[in-house]
Amino acid sequence: MSSSLDFVKRKIITKISLTNHNFKNLKHDIKTPMVLLSIAAGVVAGLAAALVKGLTISVSSFGLWNPSTLGYLLISIVLSLFQLNLINKAMKNYDTLKVVPIYQIFMILMNGASGAIILDE
């Protein structure tokens, strides 16, 4: 009787330890959030860069204290902080060697697209 109880206890303990092990490594097994966080951070960084380009045009045309210039400044600061938050979340939970290249690819693509649209390059 005792041996069958020990067998059941060992099976339950093994099952629980395997379950905990799976939950601990879940973030390393599922890569979709890493990719989405990196892409979102790159896109937001590209949008912030586009707003900074618009800010420089607005400052040279209207001056610093124009409402549109201050709007560009406020939105670019908010987007920059949001982008830093996204990239920090991705780098905290996933490997930096996998996060940074995806982030840089989408940041470069968005910078190129914003330069083509805003500056007619």
Residue 3 to residues 6, 9, 58, Cα–Cα distance (Å):
5, 10, 81
Q: Do 37 and 50 fall into the same domain? A: yes
Q: Do 47 and 83 fall into the same domain? A: yes
Q: Do 10 and 52 fall into the same domain? A: no
Q: Do 35 and 51 fall into the same domain? A: yes
* DSSP-assigned letter for residue 26: H
What the block records as the tokens of 55 is 């800010």
Q: What is the model's pLDDT at position 23?
A: 47
Q: Do 23 and 45 fall into the same domain? A: no
Q: Do 39 and 90 fall into the same domain? A: yes
pLDDT in tens, 25-34: 555 556 778 8
Q: Do 6 and 36 fall into the same domain? A: no
Q: Do 109 and 96 fall into the same domain? A: yes
Give how many domains the chain has, as a whole number. Answer: 2
This model's pTM is above 0.85: no
Q: Do 2 and 14 fall into the same domain? A: yes
Q: Do 16 and 69 fall into the same domain? A: no
Q: Do 16 and 61 fall into the same domain? A: no
pLDDT in tens, 81-103: 999 999 998 888 888 898 999 99
CA distance 91 to 104: 13
Q: Do 41 and 88 fall into the same domain? A: yes
Q: What is the CA radius of gyration of the chain?
A: 24
Q: What is the model's pLDDT at position 18?
A: 47
What the block records as the tokens of 49 is 């860069």
What the block records as the tokens of 75 is 């939105």
Domain boundaries, position 100 = 31-118
Q: Could you tell me where the DSSP H helices lie in the chain?
A: 2-24, 26-29, 32-62, 67-93, 96-118
